[in-house]
Amino acid sequence: MTDPGTDAVLGALADPTRRALLDALAAHGQASASVLAADLPVSRQAIVKHLGVLSEAGLVEPERSGREVRYTVRSESLAATASWMSALADRWDRRLRTIKRAAEQQ
């Protein structure tokens, strides 16, 4: 069972534009919505909305610098989600090994 934080991360990552934003932020280190919009085929306003979803999921951190808001990637939420996914994969691997052993014994 996932926690609400993992659910929010998975929901945020379900959109390809938001994944592209995370990739762009990882490449830039820190960037404003205007800088990010220059790299993607969507408007600055759409970028701001996507960044809001990523921020609510704990994947980016907004920081105001004068009139500009700059965003950075927060890896903690990604790490927690990756840990959950790894544990899930381990459980399935154990189940599949059990099924394989049972099938081979017959």
Output the 3-class SS for the chain. Answer: CCCHHHHHHHHHHCCHHHHHHHHHHHHHCCEEHHHHHHHCCCCHHHHHHHHHHHHHCCCEEEEEECCEEEEEECHHHHHHHHHHHHHHHHHHHHHHHHHHHHHHHC
- Give the pLDDT confidence score for residue 33 in this predicted structure: 93
4-105 maps to which CATH number? 1.10.10.10
The pTM score is: 0.78
Domain edges within the chain: 4-105
User: What number is the average pLDDT over the span 95-101?
Assistant: 90
- pLDDT, one tens digit per residue, over 29-86 is 899 999 999 888 999 999 999 999 999 999 999 999 899 999 999 988 888 888 888 8
